[in-house]
Amino acid sequence: MDVFEAIMKRRSIRSYSSKPVEKEKLLKLLQAAQYAPSAKNRQEWRFIVVTNEETRKKLVPICRNQFFIAEAPVVIAGVADPKFRWYKVDMGIALEHMVLEAVELGLGTCWIGAFDKQKVSKLLNVPEHLETVALLTVGYPKEEPGATPRKPLNEIVCYEKYDLHE
């Protein structure tokens, strides 16, 4: 599968099978993030891999009751130091590398941004000077959701200067 095919195939998965994610596949996801670019090549991201069922269940109420978090066999927390100006951008790039590699490996993911950062950080023992930026659920999809509509390029792209009429 080429990169564009993975981009086109990617979906946010909110229903997972109970099949565990193989350690080799999980390692490939983490390596994909390891090779993501970052501002000044700082590589300031850290990742907490959560597979413990009880911990995943405890995440649900502090993640706005998104119940599929407990269903996913793996949750990856992306943690970074907010003192670095581009930490959120760097984390986004690293997590998207994982997402695209997951597609290649037949895995599904869902990016989670709606959660109580302090409570998640406490549950996962994140040091106070670091921030839990995002969570990523990972697992085998129960079903393949269809494509969601996308705006046409002429509604989102300008050339040379902004000239979209909203």
pLDDT at residue number 55: 99
DSSP 75: E
The domains of the chain are located at 3-155
Mean pLDDT (whole number) for 131-144 = 97
Q: What is the mean pLDDT of the chain?
A: 97
In 3D space, the residue among 35, 33, 65, 63 whose CA is nearest the CA of residue 49 turns out to be 33
Whole-number pLDDT of residue 102: 98
Q: What is the pLDDT of residues 37-67, one digit of tens each?
A: 999 999 999 999 999 999 999 999 999 999 9
Answer yes or no: is pLDDT of 86 > 90.
Answer: yes
- Report whether pLDDT(90) > 90: yes
d(CA 26, CA 5): 21
Question: Which pLDDT belongs to residue 145?
Answer: 86
For residues 24 and 12, what is the distance between their CA atoms, to the nearest angstrom? 22
Taking a C-beta distance cutoff of 8 angstroms, is the pair 135, 77 a contact? yes
- Looking at 3.40.109.10, 3.40.30.10, 3.40.50.1370, 2.40.50.140, the CATH number of the domain 3-155 comes to 3.40.109.10
Q: What percentage of residues in the chain have a pLDDT greater than 70?
A: 100
Whether residue 29 contacts residue 94, with contact meaning beta carbons closer than 8 Å, is answered with no
